[in-house]
Structure 1
């Protein structure tokens, strides 16, 4: 079962990479960018630099340009470029890598500056080997491009997950259903990452049976059905008991009187039917197992404690074992005495997880 392999605490940790491996990956990326910059996308390239320079701030968040993983600039050109990236210069002695783009900046046919300034910058750069004007504007280009990338990356859950310890998207998503503060994380057996995955269902104003079944099927990868309006005896408080000698209007048979200290009702309980299961899946749902605890936490996160519920486990008929002494079989849970009277799936086990917790 997939859930059995999930740790109780689901905090995602960054994969530790050896410095030599990181240096090798940086060299490979820089070489590829130098040879064929036009084959790379702008967002893709900056994201890869973020992942290879984990010791540096995210692009667009550094307080000083020297702290960034690379410098961003714009190539002065009047052409309508077919690619986003223009060129790449690898890092050198005391110099950060430099990435030049076509698509965004002050120069070019789409830039805000007059076209003659683009021509001037291009002429000085090509004919006089004087990049002064271009590099001056690159001071602004670097900041604009960094913030442009950051505005995109902040709305991408996968990019935020590149550095789980700095993941802000999970905070935004968790705030939709009461998981936005650190004090609310890792409070039960249901992994927080699973809660974020089901944010759409958990944040809905009205919760329904179909949503609960869908969550169980997806999380545990087992068949699940919801049986509604399951009858049960509900204990009455002392103040609701009918006593002889009280006012007649408060004790009319068939109207407002209940004989005894409990009543039968079918509106406050439902049943989750899991199966048919194989024997491994069946055992993982028994009381005390991790999957049983996670199922209880999942249901409570979805419906709270306003309703009663139980679980019926259904074991495939061909998987029903024969009881063997000394094997640790649990009579009433995963073992049956003698031959079963029929050839149907074993569906005679009912569990009440909330009572087990109490």
Structure 2
């Protein structure tokens, strides 16, 4: 519901079509380009194909950048609303062209063409000159837009802008696009483009990794390095009596497992609300995004232990029910047996992320 003092006026496109004289040329073309971007034409071809620029036949001093603007909409069939999508737009700029007060041709051409249109209803001459001025004005707008990256992102972010930024991180090839499963809750290419400056440094520090994950996931992230763990030794690496495969002080090992600290990192997320907590449980979209992002940042050299911290006020008891509810708890993850409110955050949920097992 809008605020009581908020003015609920017409949209920018409606204002532009109703009174084009109030808009600057570049802003008007930009708005029309956005309005036409849902059509079948590619973003790079919207201006020359669906937005036509005409010559002015007025010899009065131009007080605005836009002299006239006309719209052709899709034909409405029986039973359809009359306000159909815009199909084609014709704009008459007052500051550029072959005819008019600021035109490149002598005024006599404008006078003759204006007389033919007024007395003989012959528009062929101006339509012929429009073929040349339309291209010139379109190139003028394209040159203005080319040096403004935010406009390129706005109109053609996926096919032009995003690949250029992703190339800074080594992900600009088309074969590397959409590989992190954005449909299943992973990481989209636009998010990777946002972090391209950090991704180009393959050896990220712990603080950089924590800041990047916190910025993308919108949750507090803390990292503990060198978390040790026992790793089982392959049978061929174990030392056995009577077999010459071990030298004391070099590669002789006692036991079936070894303690290592350089392969494991702990990611502590939270404190989290109950909704965010469920989002980062295994199989949820947040956990998928976390796995894909950590795999991209560190490859297969590290494994991660994810520690989820649930806020004390979000810990709730479990209730048995015969109905299957989407909010039902998952045994061993977010189900608790309690008789009184919690005063300490719960941090006993842990699971592992390893790129080699993803």
TM superposition score normalised by structure 1: 0.67
1:206 maps to 2:202: yes
1:231 maps to 2:215: no
CA distance, structure 2, for counterparts of residue 287 and residue 55 of structure 1: 40
> Which residues in structure 2 correspond to 1:43-58 (within 5 Å)?
43-45=27-29, 47-48=31-32, 51-52=35-36, 54-55=38-39, 57-58=41-42
Q: Contact (CA 8 Å) 2:34, 2:155: kept in 1 or not? A: no
> Which residues in structure 2 correspond to 1:241-256 (within 5 Å)?
241-244=238-241, 251-253=247-249, 256=251
Q: Contact (CA 8 Å) 2:263, 2:302: kept in 1 or not? A: yes
Q: Contact (CA 8 Å) 2:13, 2:31: kept in 1 or not? A: no
- Judged with a 3 Å threshold, the aligned counterparts in structure 2 of structure 1 residues 145 and 219 are, in CA distance, closer, same or farther, namely same
Aligned residue in 2 for 1:178: 171
1:39 maps to 2:23: yes
Aligned residue in 2 for 1:321: 316
- TM superposition shift of 1:297: 2.0
- TM superposition shift of 1:127: 7.1
- TM superposition shift of 1:274: 0.5
CA distance, structure 2, for counterparts of residue 60 and residue 275 of structure 1: 44
Task: Specify which structure has the bigger relative contact order, considering alpha-carbon pairs within 8 angstroms and separated by 6 or more residues.
Answer: 1
- Judged with a 3 Å threshold, the aligned counterparts in structure 2 of structure 1 residues 157 and 119 are, in CA distance, closer, same or farther, namely same
Aligned residue in 2 for 1:259: 254
- TM superposition shift of 1:346: 1.2
- Judged with a 3 Å threshold, the aligned counterparts in structure 2 of structure 1 residues 106 and 355 are, in CA distance, closer, same or farther, namely closer
- TM superposition shift of 1:174: 4.6
CA distance, structure 2, for counterparts of residue 213 and residue 56 of structure 1: 42
Unaligned runs of 5+ in 2: 1-10, 74-87, 323-327
The CA deviation string for residues 63-94 of structure 1, in whole angstroms up to 9 with x for no partner, is 9x7xx3242134479999664323335559xx
- TM superposition shift of 1:275: 0.6
Q: Secondary structure at the match of 1:281?
A: helix
The CA deviation string for residues 246-299 of structure 1, in whole angstroms up to 9 with x for no partner, is 779x6233x554322332222221111011112222222222323222322222
The CA deviation string for residues 300-357 of structure 1, in whole angstroms up to 9 with x for no partner, is 23222221111011111232223545586545322345679x9432112221133995
Q: Contact (CA 8 Å) 2:279, 2:286: kept in 1 or not? A: yes
Unaligned runs of 5+ in 1: 1-24
1:302 maps to 2:283: no
The CA deviation string for residues 148-168 of structure 1, in whole angstroms up to 9 with x for no partner, is 44453795111126xx7xx44
CA RMSD in angstroms, aligned pairs only:
4.6
Aligned residue in 2 for 1:12: none
Q: Contact (CA 8 Å) 2:229, 2:261: kept in 1 or not? A: yes
CA distance, structure 2, for counterparts of residue 214 and residue 182 of structure 1: 28
Aligned residue in 2 for 1:293: 288
Equivalent pairs counted in the alignment come to 318
- Judged with a 3 Å threshold, the aligned counterparts in structure 2 of structure 1 residues 97 and 275 are, in CA distance, closer, same or farther, namely closer
Q: Secondary structure at the match of 1:267?
A: coil
Q: Contact (CA 8 Å) 2:228, 2:259: kept in 1 or not? A: yes
